[in-house]
Amino acid sequence: MGENDFHHLTAGWHPLEYVPDPIRWTSRASEFLIRAGGGKELFVEAIVWGKGTAERSVRGRIEVEGQDLGDFLVKSSDGWNLLSSRLPDALAGPVVQARILTDQTWVPADEGLGKDTRQLGIAVRRIWVA
């Protein structure tokens, strides 16, 4: 995140933040374009935080070109989570459209974490195909 990502993140992403790594929060549905040519798996580094030591978890799924790649669970107690999904064998082109869909969002202000009223899903540090 933070390196020309505005060309690839097409909808549903919050502004870039540094925590200290550059991250972007997803909303309930966040879309992106990624070069998948020849890659076998899609990887996403993600995290969520809870209030103090409270555990938070966010469930969701990833889609590529409308195909469901499977569910994920990001837990705050795990620190940075590495999500991986096998890509379909036949993709439409070298650059594909993908989405991160979360089952629920959370609002920091509702939990006494400042005045931030954004609907947040997961914080993403990196997305890549290998």
Rounded to whole angstroms, what are the CA distances from 104 to 29, 50, 67, 95, 112?
10, 14, 20, 28, 18
SS3 content of the chain, % helix, strand, coil (to 5): 10, 50, 40
Give the pLDDT of residue 122: 97
> Could you give the CA distance from residue 105 to residue 108 in angstroms, rounded to a whole number?
10
> Could you give the CA distance from residue 121 to residue 103 in angstroms, rounded to a whole number?
8
* Chain segment 1-37, per-residue pLDDT in tens: 767 787 899 999 999 999 899 999 999 999 999 998 7
* Chain segment 106-115, per-residue pLDDT in tens: 998 888 888 9
Q: Domain segments of the chain: what residues?
A: 5-129
Rounded to whole angstroms, what are the CA distances from 88 to 10, 44, 51, 91, 114?
21, 16, 38, 6, 42
CB of 121 within 8 A of CB of 105? yes
Q: What is this structure's pTM?
A: 0.92
* Chain segment 58-100, per-residue pLDDT in tens: 999 999 999 999 999 999 989 999 999 999 887 767 899 999 9
* Chain segment 29-57, per-residue pLDDT in tens: 999 999 987 889 999 999 998 676 678 89
* CATH, range 5-129: 2.60.120
